[in-house]
Amino acid sequence: MKFAAFFRNLNLGHGNAPSRAALESAFVQAGADEAASFQTNGTVAFSARGVRPARKIARTVQQALANAHGFDEPVFVRTMAYLHTLMARDPFVGMDKAPPIYDFYVTFLHDDAKVLPALPTCNARRDVQVLLYTDAELLSLSHLTGKTPGNPNVFAEQLLGLPATTRTWGTVARLVRKFG
């Protein structure tokens, strides 16, 4: 099976982040059949023999990064098949990424997050608008307020009190096209 791992706050080449080669090697050493870092934002496509082994691999890599690099952030795992399904639910269809819209996003939520129908669809600054909540993600768009775009990750973390990680919709679409 094919999977994607989305690390929070991991940017290759910055601070205590591993190199691309070290990140990919950590996945293989943890038991992945193969691994490929995608872009530089802490997204990795990898193969494992099932969901439980994939989650174990991700936890092992997470611990290895903490031990070797001092990088201690959560990782969020999804199957490529699930990401295909998520892409098919595209709430952004027919919308242009043009002012006032800055970009479209997928925020991957912590396993303990409880998404309820009554959750707000906008942050206080009204520069993040959630179009769709799933059980494990929120799909949103941001507006540019002055020179700063809205931050869906901050909104999700403040709303749910748990860590999350966000990628642009375009990044996830390219990931699925390349590895899915």
Any idea what DSSP says for residue 170?
H
Residues of the chain scoring pLDDT < 50: none
In a domain, 16, yes or no: yes
Residue 35 to residue 28: CA distance in whole angstroms:
7
Question: Which residue, 97, 148, 98, 96, is CA-closest to 127?
Answer: 148
Classified as helix, coil or strand, 24 is helix
C-alpha angle with apex 96: 39 to 135, nearest 5 degrees? 65
Shared-domain flag, residues 142 and 73 = no
User: Using an 8 Å Cβ cutoff, are 13 and 168 in contact?
Assistant: no
> Could you say which of 38, 65, 82 is where a domain stops?
82
Mean pLDDT of the chain: 95
In a domain, 146, yes or no: yes
> Could you say which of 82, 104, 138 is where a domain stops?
82
Instruction: Tell me what pLDDT residue 136 has.
Output: 95
Q: Which residue has the tokens 């080669």?
A: 21
User: Using an 8 Å Cβ cutoff, are 32 and 43 in contact?
Assistant: no
> Could you say which of 37, 62, 82 is where a domain stops?
82
Instruction: Tell me what pLDDT residue 123 has.
Output: 94
User: Which residue segment(s) compose the domain that 61 sits in?
Assistant: 2-82
Give the pTM: 0.95
Which tens digit of pLDDT belongs to each residue from 32-45?
A: 999 999 999 999 99
